[in-house]
Amino acid sequence: MAGHSKWANIKHKKKKEDKRRGKLFSKLSRKIAVAAREGGGDPEMNADLRMAIQKAKDNNMPNDNIERAIKRGTGNLEGMSYESFVYEGYGPGGVAIYMDIMTDNRNRTAAEIRHVLDKNGGNLGENGCVSWMFQRKGELIIDLNEFKIDEDELLLEALEAGAEDLEIEEEEAYIYTEPGNFESTRKLMEENGYEFASADLAMIPDNMVSLDKSNAKKMLRLIEKLEDHDDIQDVYSNFEIDEEIREEIEAEED
Protein backbone atom coordinates (compact mmCIF):
# COMPACT_ATOMS: atom_id res chain seq x y z
CA MET A 1 0.00 0.00 0.00
CA ALA A 2 3.03 2.26 -0.08
CA GLY A 3 2.41 5.49 -1.92
CA HIS A 4 -1.36 5.58 -1.43
CA SER A 5 -1.03 8.07 1.38
CA LYS A 6 0.53 10.70 -0.86
CA TRP A 7 -2.82 11.12 -2.60
CA ALA A 8 -4.76 10.62 0.62
CA ASN A 9 -2.70 13.42 2.16
CA ILE A 10 -3.63 15.84 -0.63
CA LYS A 11 -7.26 14.78 -0.47
CA HIS A 12 -7.44 15.04 3.32
CA LYS A 13 -5.96 18.56 3.32
CA LYS A 14 -8.37 19.62 0.61
CA LYS A 15 -11.28 18.40 2.70
CA LYS A 16 -10.06 20.31 5.74
CA GLU A 17 -9.72 23.51 3.72
CA ASP A 18 -13.01 23.19 1.80
CA LYS A 19 -15.83 21.78 3.91
CA ARG A 20 -18.73 22.21 1.47
CA ARG A 21 -21.07 21.26 4.27
CA GLY A 22 -24.34 21.37 2.32
CA LYS A 23 -23.07 19.08 -0.44
CA LEU A 24 -21.38 16.78 2.06
CA PHE A 25 -24.53 16.40 4.17
CA SER A 26 -26.55 15.61 1.04
CA LYS A 27 -24.14 12.80 0.11
CA LEU A 28 -24.10 11.44 3.65
CA SER A 29 -27.91 11.47 3.74
CA ARG A 30 -28.02 9.40 0.56
CA LYS A 31 -25.58 6.90 2.02
CA ILE A 32 -27.66 6.53 5.18
CA ALA A 33 -30.94 6.23 3.25
CA VAL A 34 -29.60 3.53 0.92
CA ALA A 35 -28.11 1.58 3.82
CA ALA A 36 -31.41 1.76 5.72
CA ARG A 37 -33.41 0.70 2.66
CA GLU A 38 -31.17 -2.28 1.92
CA GLY A 39 -30.56 -3.51 5.47
CA GLY A 40 -33.24 -2.00 7.70
CA GLY A 41 -33.33 1.05 9.95
CA ASP A 42 -31.77 -0.48 13.08
CA PRO A 43 -28.03 0.31 13.15
CA GLU A 44 -27.44 -2.45 15.71
CA MET A 45 -28.58 -4.98 13.11
CA ASN A 46 -27.23 -3.19 10.02
CA ALA A 47 -23.44 -2.69 9.87
CA ASP A 48 -23.57 -0.55 6.72
CA LEU A 49 -26.08 1.79 8.33
CA ARG A 50 -24.06 1.90 11.53
CA MET A 51 -20.93 2.96 9.65
CA ALA A 52 -22.85 5.49 7.54
CA ILE A 53 -24.25 7.08 10.71
CA GLN A 54 -20.80 7.16 12.30
CA LYS A 55 -19.35 8.85 9.20
CA ALA A 56 -22.13 11.45 9.37
CA LYS A 57 -21.41 12.10 13.05
CA ASP A 58 -17.68 12.37 12.29
CA ASN A 59 -18.59 15.22 9.95
CA ASN A 60 -20.86 16.92 12.52
CA MET A 61 -24.09 16.17 10.69
CA PRO A 62 -27.06 17.03 12.95
CA ASN A 63 -28.97 14.12 14.48
CA ASP A 64 -32.23 15.38 12.94
CA ASN A 65 -30.72 15.02 9.47
CA ILE A 66 -29.57 11.50 10.28
CA GLU A 67 -33.02 10.48 11.54
CA ARG A 68 -34.75 11.91 8.46
CA ALA A 69 -32.36 10.04 6.17
CA ILE A 70 -33.08 6.75 7.98
CA LYS A 71 -36.84 7.33 7.70
CA ARG A 72 -36.55 8.10 4.00
CA GLY A 73 -34.64 4.87 3.53
CA THR A 74 -37.19 2.77 5.40
CA GLY A 75 -40.13 4.46 3.63
CA ASN A 76 -41.44 6.33 6.67
CA LEU A 77 -40.79 9.63 4.89
CA GLU A 78 -41.25 10.44 1.22
CA GLY A 79 -38.13 11.10 -0.79
CA MET A 80 -36.18 10.16 -3.88
CA SER A 81 -35.13 6.53 -4.28
CA TYR A 82 -31.38 6.15 -4.83
CA GLU A 83 -29.45 3.19 -6.17
CA SER A 84 -25.84 2.41 -5.37
CA PHE A 85 -23.25 1.11 -7.83
CA VAL A 86 -19.70 1.62 -9.11
CA TYR A 87 -18.21 3.34 -12.15
CA GLU A 88 -14.65 2.70 -13.26
CA GLY A 89 -12.39 4.50 -15.68
CA TYR A 90 -9.04 6.07 -16.44
CA GLY A 91 -7.47 9.48 -16.00
CA PRO A 92 -4.46 11.29 -17.49
CA GLY A 93 -1.33 9.14 -17.64
CA GLY A 94 -3.34 5.89 -17.49
CA VAL A 95 -4.34 6.42 -13.86
CA ALA A 96 -7.09 4.08 -12.56
CA ILE A 97 -10.25 5.73 -11.19
CA TYR A 98 -12.86 3.94 -9.05
CA MET A 99 -16.07 5.80 -8.16
CA ASP A 100 -18.80 4.90 -5.65
CA ILE A 101 -22.08 6.24 -7.06
CA MET A 102 -25.49 6.94 -5.53
CA THR A 103 -28.11 8.40 -7.86
CA ASP A 104 -31.82 8.58 -8.62
CA ASN A 105 -31.14 8.65 -12.39
CA ARG A 106 -28.47 6.29 -13.69
CA ASN A 107 -28.63 7.53 -17.30
CA ARG A 108 -28.20 11.17 -16.33
CA THR A 109 -25.32 10.37 -14.00
CA ALA A 110 -23.53 8.25 -16.59
CA ALA A 111 -23.74 11.04 -19.17
CA GLU A 112 -22.52 13.69 -16.73
CA ILE A 113 -19.59 11.64 -15.43
CA ARG A 114 -18.57 10.63 -18.94
CA HIS A 115 -18.59 14.32 -19.90
CA VAL A 116 -16.40 15.27 -16.91
CA LEU A 117 -13.90 12.53 -17.71
CA ASP A 118 -13.78 13.28 -21.45
CA LYS A 119 -13.32 17.01 -20.84
CA ASN A 120 -10.44 16.44 -18.40
CA GLY A 121 -8.30 13.84 -20.12
CA GLY A 122 -10.01 10.69 -18.86
CA ASN A 123 -12.54 8.14 -20.04
CA LEU A 124 -15.22 5.88 -18.56
CA GLY A 125 -14.39 2.17 -18.72
CA GLU A 126 -16.20 -1.14 -18.42
CA ASN A 127 -17.15 -2.66 -15.07
CA GLY A 128 -14.13 -4.44 -13.62
CA CYS A 129 -11.55 -2.62 -15.72
CA VAL A 130 -9.72 -1.17 -12.69
CA SER A 131 -11.35 -2.66 -9.57
CA TRP A 132 -8.81 -5.51 -9.56
CA MET A 133 -6.10 -2.91 -8.87
CA PHE A 134 -7.63 -2.01 -5.48
CA GLN A 135 -8.36 -3.67 -2.14
CA ARG A 136 -11.13 -2.56 0.21
CA LYS A 137 -9.63 -1.73 3.59
CA GLY A 138 -10.50 0.12 6.73
CA GLU A 139 -8.50 3.36 6.84
CA LEU A 140 -7.93 5.37 10.03
CA ILE A 141 -6.03 8.65 9.68
CA ILE A 142 -4.36 10.51 12.57
CA ASP A 143 -3.38 14.15 12.02
CA LEU A 144 0.10 14.39 13.54
CA ASN A 145 -0.14 18.18 13.79
CA GLU A 146 -3.02 17.82 16.23
CA PHE A 147 -2.16 14.53 17.91
CA LYS A 148 1.45 13.76 18.83
CA ILE A 149 2.34 10.09 18.98
CA ASP A 150 5.18 7.68 19.59
CA GLU A 151 5.42 5.68 16.36
CA ASP A 152 6.54 2.43 17.99
CA GLU A 153 3.80 2.66 20.60
CA LEU A 154 1.20 3.46 17.92
CA LEU A 155 2.27 0.46 15.84
CA LEU A 156 2.06 -1.88 18.82
CA GLU A 157 -1.35 -0.64 19.94
CA ALA A 158 -2.72 -0.65 16.39
CA LEU A 159 -1.66 -4.26 15.82
CA GLU A 160 -3.08 -5.29 19.18
CA ALA A 161 -6.36 -3.59 18.25
CA GLY A 162 -6.61 -5.63 15.04
CA ALA A 163 -4.89 -3.46 12.43
CA GLU A 164 -2.78 -5.08 9.73
CA ASP A 165 -0.56 -2.18 8.63
CA LEU A 166 0.64 1.29 9.62
CA GLU A 167 2.20 4.01 7.48
CA ILE A 168 3.62 7.33 8.62
CA GLU A 169 3.53 9.87 5.79
CA GLU A 170 4.58 13.47 6.40
CA GLU A 171 1.94 14.97 8.71
CA GLU A 172 -0.36 11.95 9.01
CA ALA A 173 -0.40 8.37 10.22
CA TYR A 174 -2.46 5.79 8.32
CA ILE A 175 -3.76 2.65 10.02
CA TYR A 176 -5.17 -0.06 7.75
CA THR A 177 -7.48 -2.91 8.71
CA GLU A 178 -9.44 -5.68 7.08
CA PRO A 179 -13.02 -4.44 6.49
CA GLY A 180 -14.41 -6.79 9.13
CA ASN A 181 -12.01 -5.45 11.77
CA PHE A 182 -12.57 -1.76 11.02
CA GLU A 183 -15.19 -0.95 13.64
CA SER A 184 -13.57 -2.96 16.45
CA THR A 185 -10.11 -1.54 15.71
CA ARG A 186 -11.45 2.01 15.73
CA LYS A 187 -13.29 1.44 19.00
CA LEU A 188 -10.25 -0.05 20.75
CA MET A 189 -7.94 2.71 19.47
CA GLU A 190 -10.36 5.40 20.65
CA GLU A 191 -10.59 3.70 24.05
CA ASN A 192 -6.78 4.00 24.17
CA GLY A 193 -7.08 7.75 23.66
CA TYR A 194 -6.48 8.09 19.92
CA GLU A 195 -8.46 10.56 17.82
CA PHE A 196 -8.94 10.24 14.07
CA ALA A 197 -9.08 13.00 11.48
CA SER A 198 -10.79 10.51 9.16
CA ALA A 199 -12.07 6.95 9.55
CA ASP A 200 -13.79 5.01 6.79
CA LEU A 201 -13.69 2.01 4.49
CA ALA A 202 -11.69 2.86 1.38
CA MET A 203 -10.40 1.33 -1.84
CA ILE A 204 -6.61 1.15 -1.50
CA PRO A 205 -4.53 0.71 -4.69
CA ASP A 206 -2.00 -2.11 -4.89
CA ASN A 207 0.38 -0.17 -7.14
CA MET A 208 0.86 3.50 -7.91
CA VAL A 209 1.27 5.48 -11.13
CA SER A 210 3.75 8.35 -10.88
CA LEU A 211 2.72 11.45 -12.85
CA ASP A 212 4.75 14.21 -14.46
CA LYS A 213 3.77 17.81 -13.78
CA SER A 214 1.44 18.17 -16.76
CA ASN A 215 -0.55 15.02 -16.03
CA ALA A 216 -0.48 15.72 -12.30
CA LYS A 217 -2.20 19.08 -12.82
CA LYS A 218 -4.79 17.48 -15.10
CA MET A 219 -5.40 14.65 -12.65
CA LEU A 220 -5.88 16.92 -9.66
CA ARG A 221 -8.34 19.03 -11.65
CA LEU A 222 -10.23 15.91 -12.74
CA ILE A 223 -10.42 14.49 -9.22
CA GLU A 224 -11.73 17.81 -7.91
CA LYS A 225 -14.46 17.86 -10.56
CA LEU A 226 -15.46 14.27 -9.79
CA GLU A 227 -15.52 14.83 -6.03
CA ASP A 228 -17.73 17.87 -6.59
CA HIS A 229 -20.36 15.83 -8.44
CA ASP A 230 -23.50 15.31 -6.37
CA ASP A 231 -23.90 11.65 -7.34
CA ILE A 232 -20.33 10.55 -6.55
CA GLN A 233 -19.92 9.45 -2.95
CA ASP A 234 -16.20 8.68 -3.09
CA VAL A 235 -13.42 8.71 -5.69
CA TYR A 236 -10.35 6.47 -5.42
CA SER A 237 -7.31 6.49 -7.64
CA ASN A 238 -3.78 5.13 -7.87
CA PHE A 239 -1.66 8.12 -8.77
CA GLU A 240 1.20 9.66 -6.84
CA ILE A 241 2.94 12.98 -7.30
CA ASP A 242 6.59 13.62 -6.56
CA GLU A 243 7.07 16.02 -3.64
CA GLU A 244 8.94 18.54 -5.78
CA ILE A 245 6.24 18.56 -8.45
CA ARG A 246 3.52 18.86 -5.83
CA GLU A 247 5.21 21.88 -4.27
CA GLU A 248 5.51 23.51 -7.69
CA ILE A 249 1.80 22.99 -8.35
CA GLU A 250 0.82 24.31 -4.91
CA ALA A 251 3.05 27.38 -5.42
CA GLU A 252 1.39 28.14 -8.76
CA GLU A 253 -2.05 27.92 -7.15
CA ASP A 254 -1.22 30.28 -4.27
DSSP string computed for 144-185: TTTS---HHHHHHHHHHTT--EEEEETTEEEEEE-GGGHHHH
Cα–Cα distance for residue pair 137/37, rounded to 1 Å: 24
- pLDDT of 51 strictly over 90: yes
pTM (two decimals): 0.85
Residues 210-242: pLDDT tens digits? 999 999 999 999 999 999 999 999 999 999 988
User: Residue 108 burial (CB < 10 Å; 0-12/13-18/19+)?
Assistant: exposed
Q: What confidence tier does 246 reach under pLDDT thresholds 50, 70, 90?
A: confident
More confident call, 239 vs 147: 239
- pLDDT of 177 strictly over 80: yes
- Asked whether the beta carbons of 235 and 94 are under 8 A apart, the reply is no
User: Which strands make up the sheet holding 134-143, listed edge to edge?
Assistant: 165-169, 172-177, 134-143, 198-205
Q: Which range, of 19-28, 48-57, 91-100, 122-131, averages the lowest pLDDT?
A: 19-28
Mean pLDDT of the chain: 88
| C-alpha pair distances (Å), 168 with each of 100, 143, 174, 193 | 27, 10, 6, 18
Looking at residue 20, its pLDDT comes to 64
Q: What confidence tier does 108 reach under pLDDT thresholds 50, 70, 90?
A: very high
184 CB neighbour count, 10 Å cutoff: 13
- pLDDT of 9 strictly over 70: no
**Which of 145, 220, 237, 177 shows the shortest CA–CA distance to 51?**
177
Q: Which sign, positive or negative, has the C-alpha torsion 56, 59, 63, 69?
A: negative
- pLDDT of 74 strictly over 90: no
Considering 13-17, 38-42, 80-84, 87-91, the range whose residues carry the highest mean pLDDT is 87-91
In degrees and rounded to multiples of 5, residue 203 shows phi and psi of -95, 115
CATH class of 134-205: alpha beta
**Which of 99, 104, 93 shows the shortest CA–CA distance to 114?**
99
**Average pLDDT value for residue range 198-211:** 92
Q: Where are the alpha helices (DSSP H) in the chain?
A: 4-17, 21-39, 47-58, 63-74, 106-119, 151-160, 182-191, 213-227, 243-253
User: Which strands make up the sheet holding 123-124, listed edge to edge?
Assistant: 123-124, 83-90, 96-103, 232-237
Looking at residue 3, its pLDDT comes to 39
Looking at residue 5, its pLDDT comes to 44
